[in-house]
Structure 1
Amino acid sequence: MLRRTLLAAVAAALTSGAAVAGSHEPVKVGFVLVGPKNDGGWSQHHYESAVKMAEHFGEKVELVVQESVPEGADAERVMTQMALSGADIIFTTSFGYMDPTINVGAKFPNVKFEHATGYKTAPNVSNYSARFYEGRAVMGHLAGKMTKSNKIGYIASFPIPEVIRGINSSYIHAKKANPDVEMNVIWLFTWFDPSKEADATQALLDQGVDVVLAHTDSTAPLSKLQEAGEGVYGFGQAADMAEFGPAPRISSIIDEWAPYYIDRVQAVMDGTWESKATWHGIKDGMVGIGEFSDVIPAEVRAEAQKLVDDIVSGAYHPFTGPLNKQDGSPWLAEGEVADDGALAGLDFYVEGIEGEIPN
């Protein structure tokens, strides 16, 4: 009897995520966040998008959120607990959750998983990401135009293709806007650490940098730039961060996840969910561009808007040749556009960026 009871419990857990089309039970939707839900950037925008999704569906959805979950074993444990608690679909919102998502997905084949910014899929695991490099092209153009020292800085999180694409796109377009521009990159090996982000910003300022781009999750870089006073600029990252306007925040890259979350949860409700890979950009509304500050000269704002418009229309791709690799070897010929496969695995700097990408 005891053995049958245990087997029944395990079987119930393994099938707990099996949402049935037409069921009157609410769909249980889980979110795993790498940072606090009020970080002001990446995790907060995922959280706010999750809330918008839940508000859209009302009583048809039960929302479960676990914040500040480290990448690695802790993430696998949290995902497992969500699946065991009856989650129908689980969104895992950081690159380092990729293998844990695949591992847990294999144990719970009836639960749907959606992993942000990774590249692996399984029959019950999709991945989704935004073409952030499109937004970084626009920010790079603004950086090149706004710098007076001809030195711009980039605070990088982890040396993964997503971040490397952002560095390259920012530099390419800053260099097009200002041929004299130089870029300094500082790697932090963290997504969210306000103290380290602030220290990195100060280090860049000490090096003569007057425009800072960041691919980390807190508002600390903008806070430090605000303390530094006039003549230094930065950008909202993942969120608009408009409270730092009109300067130092002069524009922003905004993550717009809510429509995707609504679409994928609806698919679970309809019984039409299928594993797929999604990579959307400005045109699809997944990458938003924040308002251009009046601190930016009118002609530069117009140039930046034209760049946005050309990316949306398809008239321009941010990775269009001629472009060389850092060592001077050819990468893209005149007019050649990098394909998605090359961009997805990008692991080198373009020519002109100093320093090395850490292992």
Structure 2
Amino acid sequence: MNMPGFRKVLAGLLSGIGLAAAITAYADEPLKVGFVYTGPIGDHGWTYQHEQGRKALEQALGEKVQTTYVENVADGADSERVIRNMAKSGYDLIFGTSFGYMNPMANVAKQFPKTAFEHATGYKRSTNLGTYLSTSYEGRYVAGYLAAKMTKSKTVGYVASFPIPEVIRDINAIQVALNKYNPGAVVKVVWLNTWFDPGKESDATNTLIDQGADVIFQHTASPAPIQAAERRGVYSVGYASNMASFGPKSVITSIEYNWAPFYIRTTESVLNGTWKSADYWGGLADDALTMPISDIVPAEFKAEAQQIIASIKSGTFHPFDGPVADQSGKVRIAPGATASNADLAGMDYYVQGIAAEFPKQ
């Protein structure tokens, strides 16, 4: 039995036998909040930033919450086991931070209808399962503009994790910016099929640089691509956290997540009984995404990047305003139209200009 259900049963058992004080004390116990992480909290990237959000939650709500985390949890059966054990242990709210946790979380949510579940980057929802993600494609577009201005070789490299819509749309956002600000510049991609493997990330970066890339992006968790770019004397863009310290001469900007407001707000809603399953997309407009721009970038380019950020925040511009065509020339987003969240959530094509074959699913 999960904790909310147990509280109701306990209240009934204790009523009328002089234990009202015990009921009140039990009701005042902290809300139990669990976090399931795909990587190590010391990855300096994706999981590290989620861990900063958990710490901020503890600091903000104090004794109202009791949090814990499990790191390095693989997708599939391992994640389902960990998530189920949390629910069985009475956790009231559980956050899962890998796309690959989607089906496991959906399975467990059915079995524990009184527990609130939140899944990062997925699309399956139910009464007690919500979804959340950051609109990182906004940051990719801005960084794509900077790459367009900084590249000399007209070749941008992307160290990619898995061919899921989140990663695909981020690659596309860069190419859309290149098409506008440096026509003929291309994105080359190396797929690793892992979120965190510093050795593979470094090797992929070197491969891309050997192929002519002089700006490196990544959709992996460690700072290894940044460090490799720094050693090779090319520019790079940090991901998930501000990675400038790993490449002070290389990093032109970082696409930095800020999960704290969402974690605090969501937990408060469970505490006050107002939580409902929803699909949250947080980005530049609500500071769920920030972009520190290095002084490596010339002042005129930095100013233009800030103007692009302002236009995204105000809603006057969207990175996927049409027309947008795929590699075959087929128009996927019509002139005058803007991609909806549903369009973005199911993005399964490369846009024109990407110098790579679309990965087989």
- Conserved? CA contact 2:35–2:70, under 8 Å: yes
Q: Any idea what the Cα deviations from partners look like across 1:260-315, whole Å, max 9, x if unmatched?
A: 100111111101111111112110111111x2111111111111111101100111
Match of 2:351 in 1: 350
After TM superposition, the structure 1 = structure 2 runs for residues 287-298 of structure 1, keeping only pairs within 5 Å, are: 287-289=289-291, 291-298=292-299
Q: Partners in 2 of 1:340 and 1:323 — Cα distance? A: 15
Contact 1:15 1:108 in 2 (8 A): no
Q: Select between 137-146 and 239-248 the one with higher mean Cα deviation.
A: 239-248
Q: Give the aligned partner of residue 77 of structure 1.
A: 81
Does 69-78 or 79-88 show the bigger shift?
79-88
Matched AA of 1:314: G
DSSP 3-state at the match of 1:15: helix
Q: Which runs of 5+ in 2 are unaligned?
A: 12-23
2:276 pairs with one of 267, 274, 277:
274
1:161 alignment partner in structure 2: 165
The 3-state SS of whatever aligns with 1:204 is: helix
**Separation (CA, whole Å) in 2 of partners of 1:16 and 1:46:** 29
Letter of the aligned partner of 2:88 in structure 1? Answer: L
Inter-partner Cα distance in structure 2 for 1:347 and 1:69: 27
Look up the SS of the partner of 2:352 in the other structure: coil
Which residue is equivalent to 1:4?
none
Which residue in the other structure is 1:204 paired with?
208
Q: 1:108 aligns with which of 108, 112, 115?
A: 112
Task: Note the 1:211-226 alignment, pairs <5 A.
Answer: 211-226=215-230
Aligned amino acid, residue 312 of structure 2: I
The answer to whether the 8 Å contact 2:139/2:289 transfers is yes
Report whether the alignment pairs 1:319 with 2:320. yes
CA distance in 1, matches of 2:134, 2:344: 12
2:139 to 130, 135, 138: 135
One-letter amino acid matched to 1:330: V
- Letter aligned with residue 213 of structure 2: V
Matches of 2:7 and 2:248, distance apart in 1: 47
Partner of 1:57: 61
Gaps of 5+ in 1: 1-10
Q: How many Å apart are 1:14 and its aligned residue?
A: 8.8
Give the match for residue 266 of structure 2.
Answer: 264
**Cα pair distance change 1:255/1:17, threshold 3 Å:** farther
Q: Percent identity?
A: 47
Residue 240 of structure 2 is aligned to residue 250 of structure 1: no
1:50–1:16 distance in 2 versus 1, CA, 3 Å: farther
Q: When the two structures are superposed, what TM-score results if normalisation uses the length of structure 2? A: 0.92
Letter in 1 for 2:339: A
**1:156, CA displacement in angstroms?**
1.1
8 Å CA contact retained: 2:2, 2:87 = no
Of 183, 188, 204, the residue aligned with 1:184 is 188
Partner of 1:7: none
Query: What one-letter code is carried by the residue in structure 2 that aligns with 1:286?
Result: A
- Post-superposition offset of 1:244: 2.9
SS of the residue corresponding to residue 159 of structure 1 reads coil
Partner of 1:235: 237
- The amino acid that maps onto 2:310 is D
Q: Distance in 1 between matches of 2:36 and 2:228?
A: 29
Distance, in Å, in 2 between the alignment partners of 1:113 and 1:225 is: 38
Contact kept in structure 2, 1:16 and 1:110, CA below 8 Å = no
Provide the C-alpha distance between the structure 2 equivalents of 1:216 and 1:139, rounded to a whole number of angstroms: 16
- TM-score, length of structure 1 as denominator length: 0.93
